[in-house]
A and B are shown apart, each in its own frame.
Chain A
Amino acid sequence: MNIVVCVKRVPDSSARIKVGADNRTIDPAGVEYVLNPYDEFAVEEALKIKEKAGAGEVTILALGGPESAETIRKGLAMGADKGIHLKEGTTGRDFIATAQAIAAELKGRPLDLLLFGNKAIDDDGTQVAAMVATLLGLPFVGVITKLELNGRTATAHRPVEGGVEVVEVALPASFSAQKGLNEPRFASLKGIMAAKKKPLEEKPAAAGEPRMELVKLDNPPARPAPRIVGTGKDAVPALMKLLREEAKVI
């Protein structure tokens, strides 16, 4: 069982994001970077599948600058076997160019399962997974909360409006992980030490053809000044009046 998990390095979810002076990038001051939380679910699922099968190999793949090596090591520390770092030369790569470089790397590799996060919490792109699957001609099931393998058949749960779809697909196949799929393990000290010696292959990312251009980045529109209407249930009539007359939502 060959499993590849694509991961991205993103600002921690608790980071305060401020737009930089160039109006194109974020101010890096005080921002900590982590393995994208959705990708953690994907790594965990890969490890669980390998453990259950008692055989196989889990490869962590990331495209990004030099710091992405750290992100890959996090996956290795959780228990993955090896890493591939597609090193980014220039910036300005859009989603499709990212997907093209990942697909170029994976094309022709033996692969049974390809796992992604549902979205990267920096650009909130929610597309690279479906794109890579399309480019590789792999069937894809997005936003899954359960994955079961039975020989060469995978059954996934995919929450949709008003229910959960139970989707069946033959391997090789690709999936994107949603919260609820599992509880990602913490890397143990032993895991962290072991990760340092695991193979991490580094190579330049293939060029892609960016189509989307960032015109500018803005801070979110300011919210109106907050107001405390009152205390306890006695404040309810005043709130109702505001909802009716000012907000006009009732």
Chain B
Amino acid sequence: MPGPVLVFVEQRDGKFKRASYEALSEGRRLATALGVPLHAVTVGAGIADAAKEFAHYGADAIKVADHAKLQTYANAAWARVIAKQGAGASAILITASALGKDLAGHVAGMLGTSVAQDCTELHVEGGRILAKRPVYAGKAYATVAVKAGPLLATLRPNVFKAAAPDASRSVEVENLPIDAQDADFRAVVKEILASASKKIELTEAKVIVSGGRGMKGPENWGLITDLAAAFGGAHGASRAVVDAGWRPHEEQVGQTGKTVSPTLYVACGISGAIQHLAGMSSSKFIVAINKDPDAPIFKIANYGIVGDVFEILPVLTAEVKKLRE
């Protein structure tokens, strides 16, 4: 009898991530295709009550490791919970967030298996789960499967569809004993230096507006952030901009930055170097604004405007604002 599909639901400050509902919904679909139950597991402190709602997304069992010591992310301690719950599973699904990818590596080390990171597609074929994932930063796609044991996969946010919740379903929440050892807490978070603004995580944003060297300087970034805000999205940058110190590293999109696949990616004053394209070419719709009609970015843009960002962005932002108000 094949084991359940186990989905790890990620929370931060007691709030579950939207992308985790995508993973739960995909887990439900897989579990149904395999004819096995769907189990949901989460780790944190003071979250057991809220976890009840996983049932609305199709969970047949809800397991919670709820303990003050687990309040903040401790890689080995969190991974131990998932490794134990997932050892006999058919599949273990985790969100491909920064936390999720780190966690998956630890779970894999504990279970002696590999991770299919950042999957964009999962399906069952002849009783086996096949996972599709970008490699070479999206310049190619690998389809992988496991020879034995659970398929451990992280799911790229924004790619899998979250199902509409069914509030009529309910399941008992099972509290898990804490097996973590002292050694699992050797790396201690002393403090968190908060960013000034609460930004939307790039990899999870539905709309991303990015600026390149064509923006001329950091003093012009208001044009980028205004448009991003008008869309309710996040903002990114090319490496040229990051290397020049105009923007922080965490905003870099590309092969050595973040790989993103939003519904809409707006590239402003970005030439479209292969390393930049690698990080964003799987976006659903790409808009490019560049004054050079031969810029490579136009080769992959669904919609291009040839022209000056300083002239176009204020007008575009005003139009988007008008529509969304």
- Interface of A with B (CB < 8 Å)? 11, 13-17, 19, 26, 37-38, 94-96, 99-100, 121-135, 137, 139-143, 145, 155, 157, 159-170, 173, 178-180, 209-221, 223-224, 226-233, 235-237, 239-240, 242-244, 247, 249-250
Contacts and interface: CB of A to CB of B under 8 A. Distances in A.
Contacts of A168: 187-188, 190
Nearest to A228: B304
A213 B298 contact: no
Contacts of A242: 302-303
B99 A236 contact: no
6 contacts: A99-B109, A160-B98, A212-B144, A213-B144, A223-B286, A247-B302
Nearest to A224: B302
B114 A139 contact: no
Contacts of B301: 226-227
Interface in B133-161: 133-149
B194 interface: yes
B255 interface: yes
A212 B303 contact: no
B157 to A, nearest CB: 12
A126 B250 CA distance: 17
Given A122-B135, A140-B75, A236-B319, A170 B186 contact: yes
Given A179-B249, A210-B147, A247-B285, A226 B136 contact: no
A229 B304 contact: yes
B308 interface: yes
A38 to B, nearest CB: 7
A164 B264 CA distance: 27
B296 to A, nearest CB: 10
A134 B106 contact: yes
Interface in B72-105: 73, 75-76, 79, 97-99, 101-102, 104-105
Nearest to A160: B98
Given A127-B104, A131-B105, 15 more contacts: A95-B108, A96-B114, A99-B109, A126-B117, A157-B193, A161-B12, A164-B193, A166-B191, A180-B249, A214-B144, A223-B281, A226-B300, A239-B316, A244-B323, A247-B263
Interface string B297-325: 01111111111100110011001100110
Contacts of A215: 130, 143-145
Contacts of A243: 264, 285, 287, 303
Contacts of B76: 134, 139-140
Top 5 nearest A-B pairs (CB, nearest first) are A134-B109, A130-B105, A17-B139, A127-B105, A139-B186
B278 interface: yes
B185 to A, nearest CB: 9
B127 interface: no
B22 interface: no
* Centre residue among B102, B199, B207, B300 by max chain A CB count within 10 A: B102
Among A126, A163, A170, which residue has the most Cβ atoms of chain B within 10 A?
A: A126
B110 interface: yes
B108 A250 contact: no
Nearest to B75: A140
Nearest to B189: A165
Contacts, number: 278
Contacts of B79: 134
Given A17-B139, A139-B76, A179 B195 contact: no
Decide if the interface of chain A is mainly helix, strand, loop or mixed.
Answer: mixed
B108 A164 contact: no
Contact of A217 (B141, B256, B286, B304): B141
Given A96-B113, A130-B109, A231 B306 contact: yes
A140 B250 CA distance: 21
B201 A211 contact: no
Contacts of A94: 114
A117 to B, nearest CB: 10
A239 B268 CA distance: 14
Contacts of B112: 96, 100, 209, 211
Contacts of B316: 236, 239-240
Given A163-B194, A169-B188, A239 B303 contact: yes
Given A124-B135, A168-B187, A210-B147, A237 B304 contact: no
Interface in B237-255: 242, 249-250, 252, 255
A120 to B, nearest CB: 10
Given A130-B109, A155-B190, A228-B306, A220 B207 contact: no
A231 B307 contact: yes
B323 to A, nearest CB: 5
B140 A17 contact: yes
Interface string B245-280: 000011010011101000110000000011100100
A162 B250 CA distance: 10
B114 A169 contact: no
A232 B147 contact: no
Nearest to B130: A215
A237 B135 CA distance: 37
Contacts of A128: 105
B218 interface: no
Nearest to B202: A161
Contact of B134 (A124, A129, A231, A235): A124
